[in-house]
Amino acid sequence: MTHQLPELPWAKNALEPYITEKTLEFHYGKHHQAYVTNLNNLIPGTPFENASLEEIIVKAEGGIFNNGAQVWNHTFYWNCLTPNGTELPEPKLLDAINRDFGSFEQFKDQFSKAAATLFGAGWAWLVKDEQGKLSIVQESNAGNPMRKGFTPLLTCDVWEHAYYLDKQNRRPDYVTDWWKIVDWKKVSERY
Ligand code: MN
C-alpha cells in the first residue's frame, strides 16, 4: 500500500494572515510530504506494509511510528482549521467543555498553556475518553493520544516548522492566531 499526501481542505492562502501561504508551502508541501515519502520507503517488507495509519499509530515503533503518526497528525491538523471559523463549539461539545474545564475560557487558557509549555517539538490535543470525558494531552515529537486509547478532537502542532516562518520564536503568538481559525464545526462533529 502506498500512502498519499491528502489534499488540503482549503486553498494554501486561505488561512492568511494567521498562517501564511509560505508556511503552508513548507509545512504541507515539504514536511508533510516528507513524512509520506519516508513512510512509503520504510514499510515495504515489514508487518506494516498494508497497515492503516491508525494501526501504525497504535502498534508501530521507531521510524515507522514516527513517520506514520506524523502523516496522520498533519492531516488531522489541517482538518482542525478553516478560514470560516466560529468562536465557539456547538452546544453539545460546549456543554462538555464547561463540565470538564469549568468554562470555555478556562479550557482555552489550559490548552494554550499546554501548547506553549510543551518542551521542544510536539502536539497539544483535546481528547475524549471512552466515557466522553474531555482532557488536554501534551505529546512530544510524533506522539498521538490514540496510542493511549483516547479519541482526538482537536490538535495544535507546536513543532517550530508550524510557525517559525510567520512568528519566529513566538510560539504563544502562533497559538493566539491559531484559535482564530479553529474549525469548531468539525471538532464538534468528532465529539
Ligand atoms: Mn508539523
pLDDT number for residue 86: 87
Q: Please give the average per-residue pLDDT across 3-31, as a whole number.
A: 98
Rounded-to-integer distance, Cα 104 and Cα 156, Å: 17
Q: Which of 3.40.228.10, 3.55.40.20, 1.20.1740.10, 2.30.30.20 would CATH assign to domain 91-190? A: 3.55.40.20
Cα–ligand 1 centroid distance for 99 (angstroms): 31
pLDDT number for residue 39: 98
Rounded-to-integer distance, Cα 181 and Cα 149, Å: 27
Closest by alpha carbon to 185, among 41, 83, 102?
83
Q: Where are the domains of the chain?
A: 21-78, 91-190
Cα–ligand 1 centroid distance for 102 (angstroms): 30
Rounded-to-integer distance, Cα 39 and Cα 156, Å: 22
Q: What is the pTM of this model?
A: 0.97
pLDDT number for residue 85: 87
Cα–ligand 1 centroid distance for 95 (angstroms): 30
Rounded-to-integer distance, Cα 97 and Cα 103, Å: 7
Task: Tell me whether domains 21-78 and 91-190 share a fold.
Answer: no
Cα–ligand 1 centroid distance for 35 (angstroms): 10
Q: Which of 2.30.29.30, 1.10.287.990, 3.30.750.24, 3.90.180.10 would CATH assign to domain 21-78? A: 1.10.287.990
